[in-house]
Amino acid sequence: GIPVIYLITPTHSRSEQKADLVRLSHTLLHVPNIHWVIVEDTAVKTRLVTNFLRTCGLNYTHLNVATPPEVKMKSTDPNWLKPRGVLQRNAGLEWIRSTSKRKKLEPAVVYFADDDNTYSLQIFEEMRWTKKVSVWPVGLVGALRYESPIVVKGQVTGWLTYWRPQRPFAMDMAGFAVNLRLILSHPSAQFSITAPRGYQESSLLSGLGISLIDLEPKAENCTKVLVWHTRTEKTRLKNEEKMRQQFGKGTDLDIEV
Ligand code: UDP
Ligand code: MN
């Protein structure tokens, strides 16, 4: 059969979470042979995500791990930022590794899909037959129209990015997928909570023993944008409190949004 796509999605609680998850799930419903590993950034699984997944119509695994509120940093490092989704993606990898031990190894690919991006259906078919690591452009990222691997004669030679193009793998999380066998044969490869900003992708791929020559350019030799790093606008909820103050009543907090 066709390889399974394991899609690891970190997700955190916010006003727009359910709307983002509904939109993403409706994309995934069009993708055959997909298993959604959704990892909440919470100490306890939420009712919202639990109920949403039960009726979403997808094959899924629901996990959770909370990002510690304060992660220690060197006081000399001004560029350190709170990592987003790092422990969650690692928990997804760990689940895939331990599940794969217990069953016959089927061909599969692993992709890290943030909950607010936009995915064309074509990108899933591009990644499905990944031998080691496949790569492609990502739209609307890095303060550019798109970022992309630079491809010369069918091989990746570098990175079209403004920000730190000297990174070993200067691409966004949405820009690559990894064959499951490679992940299983490098059991300690993972994302790093202490990696500098922009180096998450490099920390995983370096741990997989990958160099540029191994990368498989997809999306017509990286000439098509099939995934976009869209970001959902933060919704202003300033009238919630004003309404309660002025009218003595507000929206029904039992109604899930
Ligand atoms: N995320 C998370 N915990 C956080 C912040 C973000 O799990 O504290 C998730 C988020 O739901 C998304 C991914 O990590 O799936 C990337 O976060 P975000 O979209 O905010 O990052 P950006 O768009 O800025 O790269
Ligand atoms: Mn995002």
pLDDT in tens, 194-214: 899 899 999 999 999 999 999
- pLDDT tens digits for 181-193? 999 999 999 999 9
- pLDDT score for 79: 43
- pLDDT score for 69: 82
Is the shortest distance between the CB of 126 and ligand 1 below 6 Å? no
Which residue, judged by its Cα, is nearest atom 8 of ligand 1? 84
Which residue, judged by its Cα, is nearest atom 14 of ligand 1? 85
Q: Which residues are annotated as a binding site?
A: 116
Segment 130-139 shows an average pLDDT of 98
Which atom of ligand 1 is nearest to 82's Cα?
A: 8
- pLDDT tens digits for 77-133? 444 567 899 999 999 999 999 999 888 889 999 999 999 999 999 999 999 999 999
Please report, as a single letter, which amino acid is at residue 67. Answer: T
Choose which residue among 9, 12, 138, 200 to substitute to test ligand 1 binding: the one with the highest number of ligand atoms within 8 A of its C-beta: 12
Segment 137-157 shows an average pLDDT of 98
Q: How far, in whole angstroms, is CA 13 from its chain's centroid?
A: 16
**DSSP states of 35-104:** EEEEEESSSS--HHHHHHHHTS-S-EEEEE-PPPSS----TT-TT----SSHHHHHHHHHHHHHHHHTS-
Residue 215, strand partner residues: 133
- pLDDT tens digits for 217-250? 999 999 999 999 999 999 999 999 999 999 999 9
CB distance 204 to 190 below 8 Å: yes
From residue 97, how far is each of 143, 217, 218 by CA, in Å? Answer: 35, 25, 25
- pLDDT tens digits for 12-47? 999 999 999 999 999 999 999 999 999 999 999 999
Is the shortest distance between the CB of 90 and ligand 1 below 6 Å? no
- pLDDT score for 198: 92
Give the residue from 202, 177, 180, 183 showing the smallest Cα distance to 191.
Answer: 202
| Residue 187: CB atoms within 10 Å | 11
- pLDDT score for 81: 61
Tell me whether residue 201 is one of the annotated catalytic residues.
yes
pLDDT at 74 over 50: no
Q: Place 172 in a pLDDT band, splitting at 50, 70 and 90.
A: very high
Q: Which residues are annotated as a binding site for Mn(2+)?
A: 116
ipTM above 0.95? yes
Which residue, judged by its Cα, is nearest atom 17 of ligand 1? 84
Give the residue from 125, 219, 131, 121 showing the smallest Cα distance to 175.
Answer: 219
- What is the H or E stretch that residue 5 is in? strand 4-11
C-alpha to C-alpha distance for 95 and 119, rounded to whole angstroms: 24
| Comparison of pLDDT for 73 and 58, the residue scoring more | 58
Ligand 1 center to residue 9 CA distance, Å? 9
CB distance 37 to 8 below 8 Å: yes
Instruction: For the sheet with 215-217, list strands across it.
Output: 60-64, 34-40, 4-11, 108-112, 176-179, 133-135, 215-217
- pLDDT score for 80: 52
